Amino acid sequence: MKNTEILLTIKLQQALFIDPKRVRLLKEIQQCGSINQAAKNAKVSYKSAWDHLETMNKISPRPLLERNTGGKNGGGTALTTYAERLLQLYDLLERTQEHAFHILQDESVPLDSLLTATARFSLQSSAQSIFWASGTTENY
């Protein structure tokens, strides 16, 4: 189906934990290292960005952000390893969800084999990522 949009939302403790808007904010922080700049890039106010991050950190089992205080290079914000893994998982779940929806459109695929088909897709995606990463590695 063309123009299908499937949005993945994850709740923890009955509260919104992560959704596409929050993922974008985290990815912007990952790219620029600044909550202020990330908020601008994600087209949300600084207060809204701060509120989202505070809510996520409160309900997250582990911290999402590492803050560096100012100084010669000015400080900034970085994602923790946990937050980086969360983004990877979110991307994988999003691709799996989209793939599962496309499998639904193929009536020749029994829905009871949906899990098998999506697992196969996930393995193929992982293998492609590993191949791509190893193919771009240079030895110095």
Tens-place pLDDT, residues 115-135? 676 666 555 555 444 444 434
Distance of alpha carbon 30 from alpha carbon 116, whole angstroms: 33
Examine the pLDDT at 27 and tell me if it is beyond 60. Answer: yes
Gyration radius (Cα) of the chain, Å: 18
Instruction: Note whether 76 and 27 are same-domain residues.
Output: yes
Q: Give the range of the structural domain holding residue 30, as residue numbers without chain letter.
A: 10-83
Instruction: Note whether 59 and 111 are same-domain residues.
Output: no
Q: Residue 49 in contact with residue 42, Cβ under 8 Å?
A: yes
Average pLDDT for 9-32: 95
Instruction: Note whether 71 and 102 are same-domain residues.
Output: no
Distance of alpha carbon 39 from alpha carbon 69, whole angstroms: 19
Distance of alpha carbon 34 from alpha carbon 79, whole angstroms: 10
Residue 99 in domain: yes
Q: What is the pLDDT of residue 110?
A: 77
Q: How confident is the model at residue 28 (pLDDT cuts 50, 70, 90)?
A: very high
Average pLDDT for 43-70: 93
Instruction: Note whether 21 and 69 are same-domain residues.
Output: yes
Instruction: Note whether 79 and 97 are same-domain residues.
Output: no
Instruction: Note whether 17 and 79 are same-domain residues.
Output: yes
- Total domains in the chain come to 2
* Closest to 101 measured CA to CA, from 34, 28, 2, 6: 6
